[in-house]
Structure 1
Amino acid sequence: MIISLRKMKEWTKFILLFVLFTLLLYQIMAFLAPYWRPDVMYKEPSGGAVKVFAYQDAPSERDPLSEIKNRLLIFYWLGE
């Protein structure tokens, strides 16, 4: 088997450039990431947002297993 030094040089150059550009792209994305995030991540939604769960002050009379079963049945029934 003949190993071509010219091809090895080309592959080494390719791999080094690939790693260099990958790291450069990562650094650019890490630099720009704070600008993509929302200012306040946990603010209350506005507009047409719908509240999904309503917390209850009193614990429910039903056992947790039947509550999970009912929610799962509703999930499968509505497909959402």
Structure 2
Amino acid sequence: MIISLRKIKDWTKFILLFVLFTLLLYQIMALLSTFLRPGLLYKEPSGGAVKVFAHQETLSGNKTMDEMKERLLMFYWLGE
């Protein structure tokens, strides 16, 4: 089997360029990820935020179950 030095040189050049460009792409993505990361994930919302769930204590337990049933049916009906 004859191994050409030119082929070895071409393969070595290809592998070195591949590794170089892979590392360059990794560094670019790492740099961009620092700019795209949100600041505070769990901060309290500001502005026109609406409280989604409020615990309501009522005198009768059936009333809350009926309200929950109505909300669930509305959710299934509207899909929201």
| TM-score, with structure 2 as normaliser | 0.52
1:4 aligns to 2:4 (yes or no): yes
The number of residues matched between the two structures is: 51
Note the aligned Cα RMSD (angstroms): 2.5
Q: Which residue of 2 aligns with 1:43?
A: 43
Q: Residue 38 of structure 2 aligns to which amino acid in structure 1?
A: P
How far residue 14 of structure 1 moved from its aligned partner, in angstroms, is 0.3
CA distance in 1, matches of 2:45, 2:22: 37
In structure 2, the gaps of 5 or more residues are 54-80
In structure 1, the gaps of 5 or more residues are 52-80
Q: Residue 22 of structure 1 aligns to which amino acid in structure 2?
A: T
Q: Which has the higher contact order (CA 8 A, sep 6+)?
A: 2
How far residue 43 of structure 1 moved from its aligned partner, in angstroms, is 2.7
Identity %: 74
